[in-house]
């Protein structure tokens, strides 16, 4: 297991073999902190590669689905140990392909390892129910069985953790997998696949196809042998994918956008709130679906809070994440950089007051990367685009509310519903927020980001459709329930049960 050389032509994993793409085409993976660095040449696969991967997954499914759950879990456990021994290599690969700092990259790797460890145990825990019958000498129960071959489509912003949190529950449930990572960040996904193969996963159980989503994504959704699709990415792509899959009547889960608020009440600890907001807004360069993009503060605390936020944002060192002193990395590519700068320009046009940042960073340390200064806007109007639309970058909007009830109203005044947080010492206000926030996950006195393997992850409203991910819910998605009726009377039934 190693990070690819700059001139190394990588291949797709199909049926246990590493195969060149049918197109014969490759594209470079660039370090967004320094685009002069190339991290391997990656397949630009086509529909033929997608079909070959589904062929392999379909062929492997019957035997894999009959493999005992504990044995499937043990393979994940061995992969966990293989990857755990390579934490430093994985963190470096992640830092170089996505741009996170080494500290953040190591944290993401640990998250992925925690998920592998959790799901290795799920092989011993997959269960249905036994239920009482209305008739004598009858046993009623349910079984969970794997749905079949599945397609997993993962985003660029968490190139290790998200492939793990989709792949591990699918495998332990007994499904075979075709995994398509984001073209921008394929490195960690391939390292994960290498570890699973080394751990003993049979040929065809895990298949990895790299390339443009338009070229292979539809093929991986439309193939009639694919029985479930799990997607994380943008709303525009996710909703189209959901429509395609739903027309076939298969299971679909899509995790998409967020516009996550932090409410700060007058009685909050200002330093604690500011630290949490800075972490949520500028950690991972704001490029995560759970990032803090809005602050809603009440009158007596808003001035001190904005001062602390501006001071903290200005003090952040932005640069190449391989430098241990760097606290924030680049946007992932030129397109994302442009999106950030356009959102900043639009906020200015809408009348928001720029407190800090608001520009692309230049100079010897930044000229070869996609760096944006940490940005804070005040006086952001509720109906403006910055208040309502996801930026997916280091841009924070500050709004004002008169009390907790107005703060909850403003927090909910968006189409998304992923995560939200409140900082307060008032237990009653905190509980009103917990109940009133229209989100799938809510935090009290901590940032909007974060999650643990044993807890379900996901949102409501425009954020997502389908079941939650991670935890038991994550593996349940890849199964269907079969109801079983067992009669042990040995004679004909005379009861009339409809």
- First-last CA distance in the chain: 59
Q: Please, are residues 380 and 347 in contact by the beta-carbon 8 Å criterion?
A: yes
State the catalytic residues. 255, 289
Cβ contacts of 496 within 8 Å, gap of 6 or more = none
Round to whole Å and give the CA distance between 333 and 240: 24
**Residue positions counted in the chain:** 498
Backbone angles phi, psi at 139, to 5 degrees: -125, 130
Walk across the sheet containing 375-378 and list its strands: 353-356, 375-378, 395-400, 292-297, 260-264, 419-423, 441-444
* Sole residue written with tokens 């990032």: 291
Structure tokens at 429: 């206000």
The CA distances from residue 227 to 152, 205, 221, 254, 256, in Å, are 11, 15, 9, 15, 21
């Amino acid at each position: 297991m190693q990070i690819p050389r700059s001139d190394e032509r990588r291949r797709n994993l199909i049926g246990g073999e590493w195969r060149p793409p049918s197109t014969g085409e490759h594209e470079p993976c660039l370090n967004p902190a320094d685009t002069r660095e190339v991290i391997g040449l990656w397949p630009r696969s086509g529909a033929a590669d997608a079909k070959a991967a589904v062929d392999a997954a379909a062929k492997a499914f019957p035997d894999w689905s009959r493999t005992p759950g504990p044995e499937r879990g043990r393979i994940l456990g061995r992969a966990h140990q293989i990857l755990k021994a390579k934490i430093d290599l994985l963190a470096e690969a992640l830092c170089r392909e996505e741009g996170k700092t080494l500290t953040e990259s190591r944290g993401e790797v640990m998250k992925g390892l925690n998920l592998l460890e959790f799901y290795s145990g799920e092989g011993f825990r997959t269960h249905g129910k036994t239920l009482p019958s209305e008739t004598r000498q009858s046993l009623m129960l349910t079984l969970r069985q794997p749905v079949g071959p599945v397609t997993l489509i993962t985003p660029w912003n968490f190139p290790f953790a998200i492939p793990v949190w989709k792949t591990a529950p699918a495998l332990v449930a007994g499904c075979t997998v075709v995994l398509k990572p984001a073209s921008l960040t394929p490195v960690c996904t391939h390292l994960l696949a290498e570890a699973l193969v080394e751990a003993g996963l049979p040929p065809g159980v895990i298949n990895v196809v790299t390339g443009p989503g338009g070229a292979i994504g539809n093929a991986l959704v439309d193939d009639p042998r694919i029985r479930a699709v799990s997607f994380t990415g943008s709303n525009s792509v996710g909703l189209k994918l959901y429509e395609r899959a739903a027309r076939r009547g298969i299971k679909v889960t899509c995790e998409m956008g967020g516009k996550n608020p932090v409410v700060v009440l007058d009685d909050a600890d200002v330093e604690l709130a500011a630290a949490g907001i800075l972490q949520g807004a500028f950690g991972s360069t704001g490029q995560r679906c759970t990032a803090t993009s809005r602050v809603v503060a009440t009158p007596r605390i808003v001035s001190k809070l904005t001062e602390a936020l501006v001071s903290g944002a200005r003090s952040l060192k932005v640069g190449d994440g391989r430098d241990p002193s760097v606290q924030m990395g680049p946007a992932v590519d030129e397109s994302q950089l442009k999106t950030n700068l356009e959102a900043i320009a639009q906020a200015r046009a809408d009348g928001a007051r720029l407190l800090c940042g608001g520009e692309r960073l230049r100079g010897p340390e930044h000229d070869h990367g996609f760096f944006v200064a940490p940005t804070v806007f005040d006086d952001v109007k509720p109906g403006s685009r910055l208040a309502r639309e996801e930026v997916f970058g280091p841009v924070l909007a500050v709004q004002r509310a008169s009390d907790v009830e107005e703060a909850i109203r403003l927090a909910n005044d968006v189409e998304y519903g992923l995560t939200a947080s409140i900082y307060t010492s008032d237990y009653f206000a905190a509980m009103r927020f917990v109940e009133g926030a229209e989100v799938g996950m809510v935090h009290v006195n901590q940032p909007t980001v974060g999650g643990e393997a044993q807890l379900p992850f996901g949102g409501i409203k425009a954020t997502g459709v389908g079941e939650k991910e991670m935890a038991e819910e994550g593996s349940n998605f890849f199964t269907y329930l079969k109801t079983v009726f067992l009669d042990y009377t040995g004679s004909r039934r005379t009861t009339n049960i409809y």
